[in-house]
Amino acid sequence: MIMSFTIAFASPFGYLAGWLSSIDRRLPFVFTFSIYIIAIIIVGRIRDPEFSGDNEAADDWNKG
C-alpha cells in the first residue's frame, strides 16, 4: 500500500520534470530546487503544540 502511494504521488512530478525538460534542460533542476525550498519553509514553520493551564485537571488525572 505504501509503495503504491509513493509511486502514485511521485508520478506527476516525473511527468512535470519531463515536460519542463522539453522546454529547457535546466528547468527540472529549478523545479526540484523550488520544491525543496518550499518544503524547508513548511517544515520550519511547524510548531510544537502549546498547552494552556486549562488542561491541569487532565494532567493530574494522568499522573495518578
Cα–Cα distance, 13 to 29 (Å, whole number): 12
pLDDT in the model for residue 14: 86
pLDDT for residue 53: 58
Question: What's the burial of 31, exposed, middle or buried (CB within 10 Å: 0-12/13-18/19+)?
Answer: middle
The reply to whether the predicted model has a pTM over 0.95 is no
How high is the pLDDT of residue 11? 85
Please give the chain's pLDDT, 64 residues, in tens: 888 888 888 888 889 999 999 999 999 999 999 999 999 999 998 887 776 655 555 555 555 5
pLDDT confidence of residue 63: 59
Whole-number Å distance between alpha carbons of 26 and 31: 9
Q: What is the CA angle 35-38-39, rounded to 5?
A: 85
